[in-house]
Amino acid sequence: MIRSINTLLVPIPTIREHKLACTVMREQVLVLVHIQTEDGFEGWGEATTIGGLSYAEESPHSIQTNIDTYFAPLLLKEQPTSTAKAMQLLNLHINGNRFAKCAIETALLDIEGKRLNLPVSELIGGRVRDRIEVAWTLASGNTETDISEAKQMVEQKRHRIFKLKIGSNPIIDDIAHVLAIKQALPDCRITVDVNQAWTELEAMKGIALLQTGGIDLIEQPVSMRNKAALKRLKEHFDVAIMADEVVQDPQNAFLLAADHCADVFAVKINQAGGLKAACLIGQMAHLAGIELYGGTMLEGPIGTAASAHVFSTYPSLNFDTELFGPLLLTEDVLVQPLDYQNFGLNVPTGAGLGIEVDSDKVYHYAKKAVISASSTHHS
């Protein structure tokens, strides 16, 4: 029996500004769900989004409101006896809200894993790898800063795959920035994320230059609404074209896979609507011969651990992952931080998510945020 469901907003500053085509981030608001059961188990889930409402249609505040108003009362009233039944119930009564559903499912799987003394990866298909390579996003907006940051990462054996966020500057400037970084790091794999910023014509021009410059992967160059353009770009260029924002839920992924619209799928557990949905997308891509990339919503350590469990089950993960979210934050909410070393992340092996959340710290931060928000409203 579920005893309580708490949703907490925990704002944590980032170690530096993080620039995307749609916004600039200086802090990340972690949306954490804490579920406790009558028999003494607790589970944690995370529904973190990027940049408030500038990236997707759910925001930290809408997720919290919807879970508190609709999800929690429904689950407490119906008391589903398994995670699968809980998700079926939510999908029956609540439309959309993929991020919120993901957080609830993660917390319930965390509890189920602890109860059975199994890692979450074994509840969702079984892991085939214990370690995943992690890319780092260079998004300071300054070429020299990015190059020195990347060189430092390689030296410290933290990252050797780099992703560049472009799309907010004129194309020629963006390409010059990317190619300067590629030249400075000839042995590193470089991915470019345009965050849907280009038209198809701009993409034709931009990708041609990037391909010649030896870039390895181009992420979501055009609007998610223009699947046909994505497909044309994929057919026109040799460099791998990756679908991200357009992948979303399994239904969308199925249509993209059936129409061969991309070479690679970026999968994000929140965007997919949960861990099992993200596993399903991985299986579909695999069946369609589409490569996989483990994406991030820049989640903190809870969502990152959950993502790692999912990506550990993928039959192949040739484009690796970008689960660097916790490394971008100035504070950790775990008792023992996630194990990043040797260019990757070791997938937690303990029961459930295999992590221990510092709940005193989390509740303290959440409370502080509520107090500062209410004082801002009254001033």
pLDDT digits (tens, 9 = 90+) for 76-97: 999 999 999 999 999 999 999 9
Nearest to 166 by CA among 283, 5, 22: 22
Taking the C-alpha atoms of residue 51 and residue 303, their distance in angstroms, rounded to an integer, is: 16
User: Which tokens go with 356?
Assistant: 């221990």
Q: Is the pLDDT of residue 171 over 60?
A: yes
Interval 238-266: pLDDT, tens: 999 999 999 999 999 999 999 999 999 99
Any idea which residues carry the catalytic annotation? 165
Fold of 2-118+356-378: Enolase-like; domain 1 (3.30.390)
pLDDT class for 53, splitting at 50, 70, 90?
A: confident
Nearest to 104 by CA among 128, 122, 88, 127: 88
pLDDT at 379: 55
Taking the C-alpha atoms of residue 68 and residue 81, their distance in angstroms, rounded to an integer, is: 20
Instruction: Please name the residue that has the structure tokens 């699968």.
Output: 84
Strand partners, 34: 6, 44
User: Which tokens go with 24?
Assistant: 């600039």
Q: What percent of the chain is modeled with pLDDT above 90?
A: 89
For residue 282, which amino acid is it?
G
pLDDT at 139: 84
Q: What is the pLDDT averaged over residues 312-330?
A: 96
Taking the C-alpha atoms of residue 129 and residue 100, their distance in angstroms, rounded to an integer, is: 28
CB atoms within 10 A of CB 164: 23
Q: What is the pLDDT averaged over residues 348-374?
A: 93
> Where is pLDDT greater, at 315 or 139?
315
Class of domain 123-346: alpha beta
Specify whether the CB–CB gap between 9 and 66 falls below 8 A: no
pLDDT class for 141, splitting at 50, 70, 90?
A: confident
Which of 270-299 are b and which e, b meaning 16 or more Cβ less than 10 Å from the residue's Cβ? bbbbbbbbbbbbbebbbebebbbbbbbbbb
Q: What is the pLDDT averaged over residues 287-316?
A: 97
Nearest to 110 by CA among 118, 274, 8: 118
> Where is pLDDT greater, at 25 or 136?
136
For residue 316, which amino acid is it?
S
pLDDT at 370: 86
Q: What percent of the chain is modeled with pLDDT above 70?
A: 98
The two beta strands, 24-37 and 42-46, are: antiparallel
pLDDT at 369: 86
List the chain domain ranges: 2-118+356-378, 123-346
pLDDT at 277: 98
User: Which tokens go with 159?
Assistant: 């990252």
Taking the C-alpha atoms of residue 305 and residue 300, their distance in angstroms, rounded to an integer, is: 9
Which of 201-225 are b and which e, b meaning 16 or more Cβ less than 10 Å from the residue's Cβ? ebbbebbebbbebebbbbbbbbbee
pLDDT at 189: 96
Taking the C-alpha atoms of residue 78 and residue 81, their distance in angstroms, rounded to an integer, is: 9
pLDDT class for 376, splitting at 50, 70, 90?
A: low
Which of 302-335 are b and which e, b meaning 16 or more Cβ less than 10 Å from the residue's Cβ? bbbbbbbbbbbbbeebebbbbbbbbbbbeebbbe
Taking the C-alpha atoms of residue 276 and residue 290, their distance in angstroms, rounded to an integer, is: 19
Specify whether the CB–CB gap between 319 and 31 falls below 8 A: no
Which of 57-81 are b and which e, b meaning 16 or more Cβ less than 10 Å from the residue's Cβ? ebbbebbbebbeeebbebbeeeebe
